Amino acid sequence: MGQTIDKELLEILACPESHASLVLHDGWLYSTDEKTRRRYPVRDGIPIMLIDESEVVDEGEFRRVMESANKQ
């Protein structure tokens, strides 16, 4: 679960669907777009930025992750 991504890479990555910025949380990259609420897996330190590989999270999980990211 403790996947890390280079900070510079994270700053240039964006959600392929909404083009929103991303937040790393528990081995997933979460889109910050509240309409799509997608998350993308990170495998062996490599972000998998394919919509077909992503998941849509429920509103509660999205809010928890965004609140956690805002505290950091």
Domain annotation covers residue 55: yes
pLDDT tens, position by position, 9-29 = 999 999 999 999 999 999 999
Given a cut of 60, is residue 1 above it in pLDDT?
no
Dihedral class, residue 63 (left if φ above 0, else alpha if ψ from -120 to 50, else beta): alpha
**Structural domain harbouring 18:** 7-71
Q: pLDDT confidence of 47, banded at 50, 70, 90?
A: very high
Given a cut of 80, is residue 3 above it in pLDDT?
no
Residue 35: CATH number of its domain: 2.20.25.10
Tokens for 8, please give them.
């510079």
Domain annotation covers residue 2: no
- Taking a C-beta distance cutoff of 8 angstroms, is the pair 29, 23 a contact? yes
Domain annotation covers residue 40: yes
Question: What is the count of structural domains for the chain?
Answer: 1
Where is pLDDT greater, at 37 or 6?
Answer: 37
